[in-house]
Structure 1
């Protein structure tokens, strides 16, 4: 095997899950194919064989061929090293954002774009812990237990997508975030005791954010407007909004003001019946102490 410029064996990553192109994602596959074509043309113009190029950037020849043929999603560091070796002056590195998004399922990409634009997010999580609040381990367990089972590649894609969506907590200016979680979701030991504790600790950590309100809907609340499905409403800076609920409008996303008012009314009543943010954090601490 050839070695890279610092004397270490080149990385192949050909068997690592989560970086294969989804054949059903036509738009994503087109992006990866275009990037791969540009990389091949620039490599050939520089007079480098695939093996030489791979040695120069620290990756195996097989992985170079997979990236250039559009069957493998290149990592960001792969593109940065390729940009430097091929003297592309930032043209290759500039493709990192588009390529990074392709790794995530199309439905999640669309949702992440909406979340990235939102100035206000309101969520009632009907069953489990909402995706934005999940730890990596919690998300992985949930995806691994889906039936019919996901492939390893699909699981890793899903985990990576949920972790990437956490960027909403780091935005500046920060959006206004509101979550209502059912008590039952906090008491289910998904992934075992240690993973369960980690998820509760994550909720306590997130609950300290100044722009976030986290509330718990206690089991002793006999009825409330969210019993037939979760609710999510995202509002944008231009005054528009989009919402969705499993218990309204056949679960379809809606943007009509009249329909949005119905979702907002239901969510407002749910928040009013839930524990206050302070009471909720104290309750989560209590559950954590019982684990």
Structure 2
């Protein structure tokens, strides 16, 4: 029989979450009641039980104490929290891998799930211009592994609103941009993703502060992620998530239709393809 030592981190978190669920019920506590003892929301507890959120070390100690778990959570959470992703994005990347639906607004960059390797490499090099090759290669491998989420023909349902700025900024140069935009267009044509472009003509909008992602799960409440350089804030408070959902709905309402967006993406890709040099050189 396969033992816990053989589980990958995400499977291990699901196993730990199931144990948390049983231990909480044995203690006669609701998710809300346990959350109050931990100084988190009941929905946060639900997400830990579903395996969509990590149990951090200080939380593991408290759970062992409150639930009389004999050190179970401290022992198992260290392995479960290992990740190939940068620490500030690890929890969000792991939750993303378990989502059944993703809604994303990308302001200045093509989102990670839609990036081709050369585009992703250019992003990492622009952000860390003195990093050695092995660091860039590790980041690139983790980024490309994330894109395999789209290998599944139906899940997660990915709906992306791309700011026109993400189309017009030539990250990696014209040839790379042409290939990446064609990649996005193809995913839209085969109906694997829904993509809309928020044009410059829309003016101000509901997410001028930066990128936004909302993740939906089968057995846990949704999460919202706000990203900025070298940081990301993952939020589970229902009222906060609902506010970000409204922002996303407003972005979709002001964006071009999927058909219009596909035409614009294809057109910009052709413009890049006909450029014969990188304007940064």
TM superposition score category, shorter chain reference: 0.5 to 0.7
- Distance in 2 between the 1:172 and 1:282 partners? 23
CA contact (8 A) 1:179 1:213 kept: yes
Structure 1 match to 2:185: 204
Runs of at least 5 residues in structure 1 that lack an aligned partner in the other structure:
1-27, 29-97
Following TM superposition, where does structure 1 have runs of at least 4 consecutive aligned residues deviating by more than 4 angstroms? 101-104, 106-109
Q: 1:244 to 1:111 in 2, by over 3 A?
A: closer
For these two proteins, the number of residue pairs brought into alignment is: 191
Residue-by-residue CA offset, 1:68-89 (whole Å, 9 max, x unaligned): xxxxxxxxxxxxxxxxxxxxxx
Structure 2 match to 1:213: 194
Structure 2 match to 1:162: 143
- Distance in 2 between the 1:129 and 1:283 partners? 15
How far off its partner does 1:105 sit? 3.5
Structure 1 match to 2:37: none
Which has the larger helix fraction?
Answer: 2
Q: Could you tell which deviates more after superposition, 186-195 or 101-110?
A: 101-110
Structure 2 match to 1:186: 167
Alignment of 1:272 onto 2:270: no
Alignment of 1:136 onto 2:136: no
CA contact (8 A) 2:196 2:261 kept: yes
CA contact (8 A) 1:108 1:161 kept: no
CA contact (8 A) 1:105 1:161 kept: no
- Distance in 2 between the 1:185 and 1:149 partners? 24
Alignment of 1:244 onto 2:228: no
Residues 1-291 of structure 1 aligned to structure 2 (within 5 Å): 103-147=84-128, 149-171=130-152, 173-246=154-227, 252-291=233-272
- Distance in 1 between the 2:144 and 2:189 partners? 19
Runs of at least 5 residues in structure 2 that lack an aligned partner in the other structure:
1-8, 10-78, 273-281
How far off its partner does 1:106 sit? 4.2
How far off its partner does 1:185 sit? 1.3
- Distance in 2 between the 1:173 and 1:193 partners? 31
Q: 1:173 to 1:133 in 2, by over 3 A?
A: closer
TM-score normalised over the length of structure 1: 0.60
Q: For residue 178 of structure 1, give the secondary structure of its aligned residue in structure 2.
A: strand
CA contact (8 A) 1:242 1:254 kept: yes
TM-score normalised over the length of structure 2: 0.62
